[in-house]
Structure 1
Amino acid sequence: MPYNWTNELWRILASLVLALLIGWMVGQITLALLLVITVWFASYFIRLVRLDRWLRFDRKQEPPHSTGLWGETFTGIYRLQQRARKRNKRLIKTLNRFRETTAALPDGVVLLREEGEIEWWNAEATRLLQLKYPQDVGLRLANLLRHPAMAAFWQDDAQDEPITINSPYNDAIRISLRRVEYGNNQTLVIIRDVTLIEQLQQMRRDFVANISHELRTPLTVLSGYLESLVEDETVDQQLHHTLEVMQQQTRRMQQLTEDLMLLSRFEHSREPGEKVVVNVPQMLSRLKEQARILGGEREHTILLEADPTLYLWGEPRELDSIFTNLVVNAVNYTPGSGAIRIRWHEDDTGAHFEVNDTGIGIAPRHIPRLTERFYRVDVDRSRHSGGSGLGLAIVKHAMQRNRGSLRIDSEVGQGSTFICDFPPELVRHPDEQGRGTRDEGRGGKTAS
C-alpha cells in the first residue's frame, strides 16, 4: 500500500510534540526543539546522499533500504527506471528489426535529416553510391550527387516523380531515385539499380525498330503487286474481292509498321527535329476535312474552334501526328450522328489542343494505361475500327518531345476529352516580329 505523505507529516508533528514535552520537563524547550530539528535534517541529508550515490553509481542495483516517504520515493524511482529500461529494449529491438529489414531490401535506402544531411543508409546504398561510414554521416546528399536532374529532384512538387541518372562512381550503372517524405520534415530516398531494366527496354526498342524496318520493304512490294492485280479488269470478280481484302490488310500492316518505326524514333531520341513556327489553325482546318471523310456514312457533327492568331513553335510532323491521332481516335470511337468538337485556344498557362467526343467513353481504371503501347480497352472494337493500340503512345512521346503534356477525361457512355497542354514559351503569333512561320498547306516558310 503506498505510503501517504500525511503520515510523514504526523511523524514530524509527533517528534516536535515529544521534544516540547521533554524540553518542558528539563526546562530546555528551545534546546530540545533544536536537537530534534537537527536530527531530522541530518536524517534527510543522509537519505539524499544515499539517493545521489544510487542514481549515479548503482542504478542497476536494488534501491537503498529506507522507511516512510523516502522508502516510497526510492521504490517509485526504481520502478520508473525498470519501465524505462523495458521501453528502451523494445525500441532497440524495433530499430534493429528496421535496420535488418532495410538492409535486406534489394533497393538502396538513405535516411535524411530535415536539412538534407545523411543520417543512415543500408548496404545496397553503399554499393550504389559508395557511401562510407562514418565519414559521410552528416553530409548533404545533394553535394554527393551532382547532376543537372537533381535540382528538380529536390523540389516539393517532384516528390512522386523518380529520376534516373548514372551512378556517380560508375557510369555503367543506372540508378533511379525517389523521395518519400515522412516524420518531422525527414526524407527517405529510395535508390534502385535499373541498369538491367533499361538494357532490356533498349533491346526491345531495337528489336521493334529492326523488325519494322525489315517488314517495310516486303510489304511495299506486296502492296504494289496487289494494287496492280486489283486494277486488272481481267481478274475474276470473286478473286477481285479477295485481292481487295488482302490489299486492305496489307495497308493496315504498313500503317502498323510506320507507327512502330515512328514510336521507336521517338523513344530513341528525346529531342524533336527541326523546329519552326507552325500554322496550327491551318493544320487543324485540313484535319477537320480529313476527319469528315474518314467518318463516311456515320455523318458525325465535327466542330472546329481555333484561334486564327495562335501558332506554335515545334516540329511540324510531330505536331501533325499528335493532332491526327487524337482526332482519328475520336472519329473511330464515336457512333453515327455523334459530335466531335476540336478546340485550339490559349490562356495564361499556354496553348491547348482539345478533342471532345460523344463516343462510348472509357472506364476510370483504364485511363492510366491508355498511353501504353498496344493497350486496348476493348480489343474486339479496336480491331473492328482498325486501331493498333499505338496512337496514344505516339501522342505521349511526341508531347514529351515538344515539352507538353496530355490530359485525359472520360466517362463511360458520356464520351471522352483529350487535352494537349503546351507551355507558354512555345506560343507564337503571326504578328510577332522576327519569327518564322510555316504554311502547312503549301509546306513553305515565310517570315512575318
Structure 2
Amino acid sequence: MNPKVLFWVPALLRLCLVFVAALVVWWMSGVVEALVFALAAVIIALFVQLRYLHELGEWLNNPHSSRLPDGWGAWTDVFARLYRLRREDERHQAEMAEWLARFRQAMQMLPEGVAIMDDVLFLEWCNEAAERHLGLSLARDKGLRVTNLVRHPEFIDYVILGRYETPLTLSFRGRKLECRIIPFENRRQILVTHDATDTERIEAMRRDFIANASHELRTPLTVIVGFLEIAMSDPGLDVATRTAHLALMTEQAQRMQRLIGDMLTLSRLESDEFPLKRERVDVRALVQSVAAEANALSGGRHTIDVEVDGPDVMGSAEELRSAFANLASNAVRYSPQGGTIRLKWTRGADDLRFSVMDCGIGIEPIHISRLTERFYRVDKSRSRETQGTGLGLAIVKHVLLRHGGRLVISSVPGQGSSFTAVLPNTSLPG
C-alpha cells in the first residue's frame, strides 16, 4: 500500500474520533464543554508530538538501537523504521570494523613495512615492521610528516621528487632497506619498506663461496694440468720423476675430492629436501671411532685421550660423526708433534657436550667469531700444509644447528684451543 495512505488514514481516523467525541460531549453537556474537550484533545495530541520530537532529537544526538523510544500512533512506524535503519547501520559498522581489524592484523603479520600517508606526507597508520625499519611509533608519530621523522637525504629526495617508478635502496639504522611509494586514491600514498639486509648478506656469501671454491679448485687443477703437460711434452721422463709427478697429482686430486665432498655435505645440510632423521646414537662407540680415526691421522705423533661420561642421544649418527670427526681432525692438524688431544663427552646441568681440547698454536680472539665461515682460515699457508678444505667448522656448525645445538670456541694463543659441541637435553632418548 502507498506509504502516504498508511500515514493519512490513521491520522484522519484519529481526528474523526476526536470530532465524534466532541459531538457526544456537545449533545450531553453543551457546546462550551464540547469546545473545551476538543481543545484539550488537540493540546494533548500536540504535547505528545512535541514529546516524541524531543525524544527523537535526544536520540539523534547519540543514536543507538537499544535507546530508541517506542512511540505512539504515527511515531510507532517512524521509530520502527529508524530502528531498522540503525540496526542495519550498526551491522555494517560491525562488519567494517571486523574487516578493518582483519586488514590491520594481516598488515601486522607482513614482513614488509607498510605506512599509509596522506597527500602532504602526514603519517596516518603503519605496521610494526615499518616501525622497526624506519624507527617510527604509531602512537607517538601519527599525524606528523614522514620526512620529518625519517631524516635521510636520499629518502627525502625520493619522497619529494616523486620518482616512484623504481624502488629506493638505502642504508638506514644499520640495515639495508628497499623503499617504494605507491599512490592510491586521490589523497593517499602507501610507503612499503623491505629489509634486504639478509638478502644482501646471503648474496655476498654466495659470491664469496663461488670465488673461494673456484680458487680452491683452481690450485690442484693447475698442478694436475701442469704435470700432464710436462708428461705429454717429454715422454722420456725417468721413472722417479714420473712417479713423483703422479704422487703429486694423486694428492691434488684427493684434495679436490675432499673439497667437493665437503661442499656436497654442506649443501645437503642446508637443504630442506633432507630432513633430520633421528635415531638412537651410541655415543660411546661413536667417540671411540672418532678417536681411532684421529690416531690414524696423527700417525702416532700425538697422545689422544678419550673420556666418555654421558648418555646416548637421539639424532643423526652420520651427521654427528661428521661433526665430531671434523673437530678431532682439526685438533690433530693444528697441534704440534708430541702434544695431547682430549676428546670428552659429558652431560652438563642442562645440556650435553662433546669437547675437543688441544695444546696447539691457539687462535687470536679476533678470528674466533669467523671460524665457522666457509673457507675462512687464520693462516692460509698453514692450512695448505695441513690439507684442510676450509669447510670443516662450517659443517660442524650446520650439523649442530640441525640438532638444536651450538658450537662454543675458546682459545689462548700459544697454549691451545677448546671446541665444544653443545646439544640440548631434548636430544636425550625419551
- TM-score by length of structure 1 reads 0.48
Residue identity opposite 2:254 in structure 1? R
1:318 corresponds to which residue?
319
The answer on 1:246 being equivalent to 2:249 is yes
1:264, CA displacement in angstroms? 2.1
Q: Distance in 2 between matches of 1:422 and 1:236?
A: 53
Paired residue secondary structure (2:276): coil
1:371, CA displacement in angstroms? 0.7
Residue identity opposite 2:346 in structure 1? H
1:290, CA displacement in angstroms? 1.2
8 Å Cα contact 1:355-1:419 kept in structure 2: yes
The answer on 1:193 being equivalent to 2:196 is yes
Q: Distance in 2 between matches of 1:200 and 1:242?
A: 39
1:131 corresponds to which residue?
115
The answer on 1:290 being equivalent to 2:293 is yes
* Mapping of residues 66-77 of structure 1, within 5 Å: none
Structure 2 unaligned residues grouped into runs of 5+: 1-109, 118-122, 133-170, 176-192, 229-237
Structure 1 unaligned residues grouped into runs of 5+: 1-125, 146-175, 181-189, 226-234, 433-448
Residue identity opposite 2:386 in structure 1? S
Q: Distance in 2 between matches of 1:380 and 1:327?
A: 21
1:415, CA displacement in angstroms? 0.2
- C-alpha distance 144-254 of structure 1, shift in aligned 2 (>3 A): same
1:127, CA displacement in angstroms? 11
How many correspondences in the alignment? 250
1:368 corresponds to which residue?
369
1:415 corresponds to which residue?
416
- C-alpha distance 208-424 of structure 1, shift in aligned 2 (>3 A): farther
Q: Distance in 2 between matches of 1:178 and 1:335?
A: 46
* Mapping of residues 4-153 of structure 1, within 5 Å: 128-133=112-117, 134-136=123-125, 141=128
Q: Distance in 2 between matches of 1:360 and 1:414?
A: 6
- C-alpha distance 336-283 of structure 1, shift in aligned 2 (>3 A): same
Residues 160-185 of structure 1 show CA distances to partners (whole Å, capped at 9, x for unaligned) of xxxxxxxxxxxxxxxx99999xxxxx
The answer on 1:333 being equivalent to 2:334 is yes
* Mapping of residues 174-253 of structure 1, within 5 Å: 192-194=195-197, 196-197=199-200, 200=203, 204=207, 236-253=239-256
Q: Distance in 2 between matches of 1:268 and 1:206?
A: 16
- TM-score by length of structure 2 reads 0.50
Q: Distance in 1 between matches of 2:299 and 2:381?
A: 21
8 Å Cα contact 1:209-1:261 kept in structure 2: no
Residue identity opposite 1:411 in structure 2? V
2:186 corresponds to which residue?
none
1:423, CA displacement in angstroms? 0.6
2:308 corresponds to which residue?
306
1:157 corresponds to which residue?
none
The answer on 1:380 being equivalent to 2:342 is no
Paired residue secondary structure (2:116): coil
1:343 corresponds to which residue?
344
8 Å Cα contact 1:348-1:424 kept in structure 2: no
1:45 corresponds to which residue?
none
**Alpha carbon RMSD of aligned pairs, Å?**
4.3
Q: 2:268 aligns with which of 239, 253, 265?
A: 265
Residue identity opposite 2:264 in structure 1? M
Q: Distance in 2 between matches of 1:261 and 1:273?
A: 16
- C-alpha distance 267-201 of structure 1, shift in aligned 2 (>3 A): farther
Q: Distance in 2 between matches of 1:270 and 1:356?
A: 35
Residues 1-34 of structure 1 show CA distances to partners (whole Å, capped at 9, x for unaligned) of xxxxxxxxxxxxxxxxxxxxxxxxxxxxxxxxxx
8 Å Cα contact 1:406-1:419 kept in structure 2: yes
- C-alpha distance 341-270 of structure 1, shift in aligned 2 (>3 A): farther
Paired residue secondary structure (1:306): strand
Residues 63-88 of structure 1 show CA distances to partners (whole Å, capped at 9, x for unaligned) of xxxxxxxxxxxxxxxxxxxxxxxxxx
- C-alpha distance 178-358 of structure 1, shift in aligned 2 (>3 A): farther
8 Å Cα contact 1:285-1:304 kept in structure 2: yes
Residue identity opposite 1:303 in structure 2? D
8 Å Cα contact 1:177-1:191 kept in structure 2: no
Runs (4+) off by over 4 Å: 142-145, 176-180, 201-212
